């Protein structure tokens, strides 16, 4: 355990975040311990990432393949695991398939099929979340609501034997975020109620620095935090 001022700052931020998550959970009759806190590491120096791990973070979120590969060796991964959360091109899947515990940003059937293929080659089953473009925004990737509720889409995903579908992930539009957080929760419940083989709706990954308390209010059980934990990105 190091005791530089930075470490105290990150530990203090984490303490405050945990209090906020606790309050948001209790206020909506949820159990605070059901909600995981991910540290989003983009642009953050690996030393500071390790300070977050020292402070108790057990889950890292990586956005960029190249950046992740260049920083990974410096991470203290005995105490934390890594999920991929960024836009992922099919030709990059092979670089991360054996280095992450989950890919949260599966934005198309095509990408899911490529992950399935790479996982098969590596003799693993990869946990994935389906990313939903809940606000139907041109600037964002992800399944559209109409697409993901189709039995056809869900069955095609369920048939991939080297991926485990564990839930949904979303980045809601900034304007009117609460409405979209709630819509994502409804979608999560709708899909869960279909009770399809190999489609489990256990994880609802939503909530970032500016809306994580609202996300907890609307059923999120995994909040992804960068700025709130590490400060403003350069």
Ligand X SMILES: *Cc1c(COP(=O)(O)O)cnc(C)c1O
Q: Which residues of this protein are in contact with ligand X, per CB under 6 A?
A: 40, 42, 63, 85-86, 171, 208-210, 224-228
Which of 53/170 has CB closer to ligand X? 170
Task: Count the alpha carbons within 13 Å of 71 in the hemisphere toward its beta carbon.
Answer: 22
Which of 30/87 has CB closer to ligand X? 87
Which of 138/152 has CB closer to ligand X? 138
Which of 86/167 has CB closer to ligand X? 86
b (16+ CB within 10 A) / e for 9-29 = bbbebbeebeeebeebbeeee
Which of 129/201 has CB closer to ligand X? 129
Least separation in angstroms between residue 86's CB and ligand X is 6
Long-range pairs, 124-127, Cβ under 8 A, ≥24: 124/97, 124/98, 124/162, 125/161, 125/162, 125/163, 125/164, 126/97, 126/102, 126/162, 126/163, 126/164, 127/101, 127/102, 127/103, 127/163, 127/164, 127/166
User: 214, 178 in Cβ contact below 8 A?
Assistant: yes
CA-based angle 94:97:98, to the nearest 5?
120
Least separation in angstroms between residue 38's CB and ligand X is 8
Which of 198/231 has CB closer to ligand X? 231
Least separation in angstroms between residue 90's CB and ligand X is 18
Which residues are CB-neighbours of 140 under 8 A, at least 6 positions away?
133, 171
Least separation in angstroms between residue 202's CB and ligand X is 19
Least separation in angstroms between residue 20's CB and ligand X is 13
Residue nearest to ligand X (CB): 226
Least separation in angstroms between residue 105's CB and ligand X is 7
């Amino acid at each position: 355990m190091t005791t530089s001022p930075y470490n105290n700052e990150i530990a203090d931020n984490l303490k405050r975040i945990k209090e906020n998550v606790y309050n948001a959970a209790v206020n909506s009759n949820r159990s605070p311990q059901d909600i995981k806190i991910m540290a989003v590491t983009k642009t953050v120096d690996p030393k500071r990432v390790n300070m977050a791990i020292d402070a108790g973070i057990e889950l890292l979120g990586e956005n960029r393949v190249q950046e992740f590969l260049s920083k990974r060796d410096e991470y203290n991964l005995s105490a934390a695991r890594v999920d991929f959360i960024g836009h992922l091109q099919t030709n990059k899947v092979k670089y991360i398939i054996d280095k992450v515990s989950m890919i949260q940003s599966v934005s198309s059937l095509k990408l899911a099929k490529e992950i399935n293929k790479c996982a098969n080659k590596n003799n693993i089953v990869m946990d994935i979340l389906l990313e939903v473009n809940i606000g139907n925004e041109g600037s964002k990737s992800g399944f559209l609501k109409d697409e993901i509720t189709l039995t056809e889409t869900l069955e095609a995903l369920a048939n991939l034997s080297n991926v485990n579908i564990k839930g949904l992930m979303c980045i809601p539009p900034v304007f009117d975020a609460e409405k979209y957080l709630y819509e994502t929760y409804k979608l999560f419940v709708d899909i869960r109620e279909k009770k399809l083989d190999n489609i489990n709706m256990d994880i609802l990954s939503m909530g970032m620095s500016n809306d994580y308390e609202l996300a907890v209010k609307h059923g999120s059980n995994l909040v992804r935090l960068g700025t709130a934990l590490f400060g403003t990105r350069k």
